[in-house]
Structures are given as structure tokens and as C-alpha cells.
Amino acid sequence: MIKHNLIVLLTAAASVSCQPSGNDQAAQDTTNSATVSAEETPSSGTATALFNGKNLDGWTIHGTEKWYVKDGLLICESGPDKQYGYLTTDKSYKDFDLTLEFKQSADGNSGVFFRSSVDGTKVTGWQVEVAPPGHDTGGIYESYGREWLVQIPEEKENILKMGEWNKMRIVANGDEVTTYLNGEQMAHLVDDKIGKADGSIALQIHAGGGIKVMWRDIELKTL
């Protein structure tokens, strides 16, 4: 009788040990739920190439200045009118991490606009400067508005490599914007007006003529 009871008790104990506890079951349910949620949530932060290296698909030209593709590079060059010109993305991007490389020849006065719009050749939005040495490449400028919001310190003017490939990074997230050139932070700004805006990415040719800038590896991650 004692032996029979012992067998019954051991069998019951084994049955209980095979059942997950309340905490174990909750953890299992949470793990499964998290897996499903991750699969169902669209991925963000994946880099997208804005320039395909072949043509200007996904972009729109504004003005009469020259924008063309040669040897896998996007090239902007002053035209006979020597006026402002812009190349804008067809899509708008609000919060993003943008990287690109540029190489200046001649005057090289250009820029990268964000959260912008263009009417004719009049732009609204904010420009990260691309300019000759000594002229605030990486600084932040508001066209037809407050003008310079952040100019770079003099000691950072030597970070730009004129006539060579430079890597620029622009991170815009809400009302905060940070710019980098060749791995060095150039400008940081928190601005309510920028935070409320949305719009396209745009490359610029400055008025005055004599400008030629080459671009490559234009990639954007949404935040």
C-alpha cells in the first residue's frame, strides 16, 4: 500500500513538473508575441540608394543648369544662364540619416537641402553647405529666411578636401539636425521651425557660373 502510494505521488510530481509555471507560460507568450510583432512591423533604418548610378529616375530638375550621369556619377554643372539650379527627390523625407560623397571642381559652390520644396528656382527649406574652403561646408543655412543658423568654427575649415572625395552625413530627427564631414561633426541644431517641416532632399547649383560638383553613393535611412 505504501509502495503504491509512493508510485502515485511520483507520477503526480512528474506530471506537475512537465507543466510550465505561470511565469514560464507568460514568458513564452511574450516571446511569441514579440516575434510576431517584429515580423509584422515594417523595417526602418534600412539604407535606400537615392541615386541608382545610371540615370535621374526618382529626381526632378529645376532650372536650366546641367544635371547628368556619367561613369556612374551624378554631375551638376553651371549652364549658360549661370543661375540657381536644383535637383530634388520626388519623395519627401522628414526623419532620416543621409550619407553621400561629393567632389568639387572649379568653384564648387553647392549644397544639400532637406525638408525642402522648390517653386521654379526658388527654394524653401534648409541647406547643408557645400562650398569652397573657408566658406562653412557642413554649416546649416535657411534660404529666404533667417540665413545662417550654424556656421562652422574656423578650426574645422581644413576638414574639407577640395578636389577630392568628401563624405557628408546629415541626420534629421524631429527638431534636431546634426551634420558631419569626413567623420567629423560640423554642426548641431535644435530648431522648432525645422521640426515642423517636411519635404524633399535637394542638391543645389549656386548662381554665378563656373561650378561643377560630382556626387555618388547617395543613401538614406528613414528614422
Can you give the residue ranges of every domain in the chain? Answer: 2-40, 48-222
H or E stretch covering 26 = helix 22-40
Question: What pLDDT score does 106 carry?
Answer: 79
At 85-99, the pLDDT tens digits run 999 999 999 999 999
CATH topology for 48-222? Jelly Rolls (2.60.120)
Question: What pLDDT score does 46 carry?
Answer: 87
Are 172 and 212 in contact, with CB atoms under 8 Å apart? no
Question: What pLDDT score does 150 carry?
Answer: 98
At 110-151, the pLDDT tens digits run 999 999 999 999 999 999 999 999 999 999 999 999 999 999
**Residue ranges of the chain with pLDDT lower than 70?**
1-45
Cα(95)–Cα(176) distance, rounded to whole angstroms? 10
Please give the C-alpha separations between residue 172 and each of 42, 149, 195, in angstroms, as whole numbers.
20, 15, 9
DSSP for 29-65, please give it. HHHHHHHHHHHHSPP-S--EES--SS--TTEEEESSS
- Assign 216 to helix, strand or coil: strand
Question: What pLDDT score does 119 carry?
Answer: 95
Polymer length of the chain: 223
Question: What pLDDT score does 169 carry?
Answer: 98
Residue type, 133: P
Q: CA torsion sign, 212 to 110 to 62 to 83?
A: negative
Q: Which of 118, 116, 117, 112 is nearest to 186 (CA)?
A: 112
Cα(189)–Cα(127) distance, rounded to whole angstroms? 13
Question: What pLDDT score does 44 carry?
Answer: 59
Cα(136)–Cα(87) distance, rounded to whole angstroms? 22
